[in-house]
Chains A and B, each alone.
Chain A
Amino acid sequence: MKILVISLLRLGDIFMASPAIEGLRKKYPNAEIDLLVNSPYHNLSGKFFGVTRIIPFERKILQDGLVKPERAQFESFDKVKTFIQMLTNNNYSLVVNLTQNKLSGYLTEAIEATEKLGLTLNEMNQPRYGSMWFKYLNDVVGAKVKSIFHFTDINYFGLGLDKAGQRFNFNETDDGLAEVDLFLKNNNVNGRVKIVIQPLTSDAKKNLPIRQWLEAIEQIRIFDSKAEIILLGAPNEAAVINQMQFELKEKGITVHAAILSIAGAFSLLKKCNQLLTGDTSIKHLAAATDIAVFELSLGSSDLRKTGAYSKNSLILKSKVGCSPCSHNSECIKLSHECSALLTGELVGLAAIKHLHGDWAGLKILADEYADEFEFYRTDISKLGFWHADNILNQKSESSLSAFLDLAAWKFLIDKLHLLALAPYGFEGSLIREYLKTYWADSDDTLLKLSLGQIESAVLDSEHQLNKILASLTKSLRSANTRPVLDFIENEYHSDICTLEKKLQLGNYFSEKLSLDDNLGLFKMRRLQSSLSEVFNHQQIKLKLVCSIKNQILNMNKMEEL
């Protein structure tokens, strides 16, 4: 069997595909797995990713062929066709598109294969997803809904792999090990605690200014005089890293500069205790090790989608209104406000507390800086998905409701509610068990109270949804479009928008409410479908709440007996 995995975005996204690749390898142990990536990354070793080979997509060459007049008009056209033919000739049984953009959608459609998972776009621009999880990625995540699953989980669930089996796995290479051994030997790095700092990223918006990094390192040194501090960078970042090392030396602080390849960086992470970074790629590499990750989520980093994927990672995020910004646009502010306010002192203090697992101390720190920053603690729930909670709100109704939202979405997308014996009780017990981490048994009263409030809110939303749905269905049954237009323009427009806001659904409904083209009826049917989906979601959430409440009640009764 041959499988092709398509990952045509940045390096961090390729690393994020690791659990999906690992899951495929587990499911199809004898399969040849090829990984299609943009050409700048094709020099990565297939062995490192655990794939048979890495195929480059020559994006730059194709773009040059299109825009340069001295190139033949059909050069890129021919190259793309030849490339597609080459992929088709590989006779893939399964093509997996983990990229979710139009380019990869058309490409996946053009490759002939027995089965396809992930977005495909045909010649009429009609999408197919192969799994409800990829549809969720397009419809729900794309609509900026607040409570969403991590991209790693969506990819993994979308492939229908083993439940809760997400595991980042990269293989150390001989070259990487040799690089690190040489680095450790030459620098005499033998302290018990090793902190790795990767200060630079490929996106300036995600960088903490160097001055603040230097302050943070000074702070770390004050609290831990023995820890070995390693500044990690790629070869093209050597000048900045060396300058930082020099400036710290002037202040009497010794740090080591590690200019390593990706394989070398991975081997280094395996030998260290903590990673501090704003870089996406390195934190995903770290997810395959035991290192504690402290992520600075700056610029376009969206922690909900791409946060550090491991238990007990600390994520520090600015509260400025524009955060996270778009990947593709320049910063709209005069300076990068998200990083400008982040002092080295705060980063250093948080790093030390995180290194020592002092979550109570971090909570105090988070409280002190609550106006400007949010601190998140990551976890992987018993239901098998990653999530990050604001450490100030971990035992709050809002955090519980957000978690239940995710649980209900998973239930809905996996279509468990359609089973004859839908496992509300089982899922509820898993949630209950999981909640014990934050809501100790003694807090049952508080938990019951929060569940009661959530139940009441869900009942209210369910009622409103039902009313709107009934009216919309009635309007759609009419052959005349006028009632539908009335429906949108007058009757329920504001109700829908209010409900959308209340349920933190981004623009999941409202994007279908605009009547700026001739797709009014089509959009209304899509709205009807979205409303039904959210109605089902709320029903599931309600049943899960009831299940947890019952379990608490039964537990109390048993204790009384």
Chain B
Amino acid sequence: MYLMKNNFRSKSGLPLIKFGERYLCSSVDPMKEAVAWVEKHKDFLVGLNDVMVLGVGCGYHLLALLTRFAGINIIAIDNTIKHIEFVKREHSIAVSNVEFLCVDSLFEATQNIHVHNMVNKPYAVLKFSPAIITFPQLFYDLEALLLARSEQGLDFVIKCRPDLKNLFIADGVRGVAKSLLSIKDLDARLQKLRNSDENIDYKQIRENYLTIKILRELIS
């Protein structure tokens, strides 16, 4: 389907890879581009320690991220194993703590234990646009899934997080959650969860309820 070459160098002398006719990062100065990308997204990472990066590309943006936010946990996701191999080879020591995940479908992403663990706490999902040209639609769907901004994603995140299940069980919360989450079929979801859950943690319901109320006030 496509031809990948990995014997190119940028004007600044750094090794690059190409997908078809397009480089997966800047052909002039990939490090400068990577630093600018991190700077652009730094607000996403305030108070967070976990991030999923969509698009591995040539890996310079991962280096820049690790440099700017020391100790950050990264899951780097791509659909091309050769890109991942390139990054691991070129930046072996620097990216040793990065979890790489190669997926062809949303289902694969939902099966990964590292992803499960990450969505259990505050996290961000960042897209590196030059690197997602290999299969843009997959990356857009992955983004919606991992951010829980799609129906499937909401299902996935709620399954990973038992503390959130109650969010949709408390009748009083339903209306609030509905307007907050902009998801149309919460009623069906509610019914499904109601049938599946026998133990309801009322303290947790109360906490979730108050949190939702606070959030609602923040956007009212």
Contact = CB atoms under 8 A, between A and B. Distances in A.
Given A80-B215, A81-B207, A74 B124 contact: no
A80, A101, A102 — most chain B CB neighbours (10 Å): A80
Contacts, number: 92
Contact of A107 (B148, B149, B214): B214
Interface band, chain A:
20 to 34
A218 to B, nearest CB: 46
Chain B interface main SS type:
helix
Interface in A36-72: 58-59, 61-64, 66-67, 69-72
Contact of A67 (B124, B209, B219): B219
A81 B211 contact: yes
A103 B214 contact: yes
A61 B42 CA distance: 12
A86 to B, nearest CB: 11
A76 interface: yes
Contacts of A62: 215, 218
Interface string B60-88: 00000000000000000000000000000
Interface in B134-154: 143, 146-149, 153-154
Contact of B125 (A61, A72, A82, A123): A72
Contact of B172 (A58, A69, A124): A124
A61 B154 CA distance: 22
Given A72-B122, A123-B209, A66 B149 contact: no
B128 interface: no
Contacts of B205: 123
A121 B211 CA distance: 12
Given A71-B124, A73-B149, A102 B217 contact: yes
Nearest to B44: A71
Interface string A95-134: 0000001110011011000000000011110000000000
Contacts of B46: 58, 61
Interface of A: 58-59, 61-64, 66-67, 69-82, 84, 101-103, 106-107, 109-110, 121-124
9 contacts: A69-B149, A72-B123, A73-B147, A75-B123, A106-B210, A107-B214, A110-B211, A123-B206, A124-B172
In the complex, the 7 A-B pairs of residues with the closest C-beta atoms, listed nearest first:
A73-B148, A103-B217, A78-B122, A123-B209, A110-B210, A106-B213, A72-B147
Interface of B: 43-44, 46-48, 119, 121-125, 143, 146-149, 153-154, 157, 161, 164, 172, 180-181, 205-207, 209-215, 217-219
